[in-house]
């Protein structure tokens, strides 16, 4: 039987490794060797949706979690996924998008027009002032915004993009999921209308009639 002193010593050593894990590279991976890409929406509870501990309690340690508008592929999402997979021991990527997403609620061309009405020229804005080499071609701003026509379709496209990207190791396990805000349940992305009948998963349900700029070929 272990003494309390032994238990406490082991706990302190384990916490020291946890707090310093980034110093150990792949040997200091997060608890589940997992990277999560999720929408920034406050109604998407990553821990509840996936049954892991990322946000609650603070520093749960199960995964690296990256959030952006829509939970879609962006250059910075690829950058973060590349780092966690190649240098921090991550072996799995999970993508979580959701119904009732704000990225369904407007057409990107209208958002661009709104910025121009405020005196902003999207064609001349630096995307990252610290990286002037990173530029958009003229007329690509609306596409860059990343609005969606269909969240299930966007999720499937996001999965495929990560699976085929040269910076993501081929042996990393990749999956994508849809969190239904209306029912608080997780499901796989699907084109089956019956399986998502109680949810708002398309821009048409938000009254958007015009197709979004095509982000994926």
Q: What is the pLDDT of residues 44-74, one digit of tens each?
A: 999 999 999 997 777 789 999 999 999 999 9
pTM over 0.75: yes
For the chain, how big is the Rg over CA atoms in Å?
Answer: 20
Residue 217 confidence class, pLDDT cut points 50, 70, 90: low
Residues 48 and 14 in one domain: no
Could you say which DSSP state residue 155 is in?
Answer: H
Q: Residue 13 belongs to what domain range?
A: 1-28
The number of distinct structural domains making up the chain is 2
Residues 37 and 97 in one domain: yes
- Per the domain annotation, does 131 fall within a domain? no
Q: Does 96 sit behind a cis peptide bond, omega within 30 degrees of 0 on the bond before it?
A: no
Residues 4 and 63 in one domain: no
- Per the domain annotation, does 9 fall within a domain? yes
Residues 24 and 86 in one domain: no
pLDDT in tens, 99-148: 999 999 999 999 999 999 999 999 999 889 999 999 999 999 999 999 99
Residues 162 and 102 in one domain: yes
* Mean pLDDT for the stretch of residues 75-84: 97
What are the start-end ranges of the H helices in the chain?
4-19, 46-50, 75-87, 108-117, 141-145, 151-164
């Amino acid at each position: 039987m272990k003494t309390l002193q032994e238990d406490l010593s082991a706990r302190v050593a384990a916490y020291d490794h946890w707090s310093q894990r980034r110093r150990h590279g792949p040997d200091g991976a997060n608890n589940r060797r997992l990277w999560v890409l999720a929408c920034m929406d406050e109604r998407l509870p990553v821990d509840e949706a996936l049954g892991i501990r990322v946000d609650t309690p603070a520093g749960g340690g199960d995964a690296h979690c990256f959030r952006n508008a829509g939970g879609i592929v962006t250059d910075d999402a690829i950058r973060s996924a590349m780092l966690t997979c190649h240098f921090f021991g991550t072996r799995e990527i999970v993508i979580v998008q959701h119904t009732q997403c704000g990225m369904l609620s407007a057409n990107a061309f209208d958002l661009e027009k709104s910025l121009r009405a405020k005196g902003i020229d999207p064609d001349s804005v630096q995307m990252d002032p610290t990286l002037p080499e990173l530029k958009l071609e003229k007329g690509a701003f609306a596409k860059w915004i990343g609005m969606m026509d269909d969240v299930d379709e966007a999720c499937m496209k996001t999965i495929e993009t990560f699976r085929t990207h040269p910076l993501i190791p081929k042996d990393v396990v990749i999956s994508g999921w849809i969190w239904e805000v209306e029912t608080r349940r997780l499901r796989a992305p699907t084109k089956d209308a019956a399986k998502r009948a109680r949810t708002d998963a398309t821009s048409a349900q938000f009254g958007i009639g015009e197709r979004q700029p095509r982000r994926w070929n």
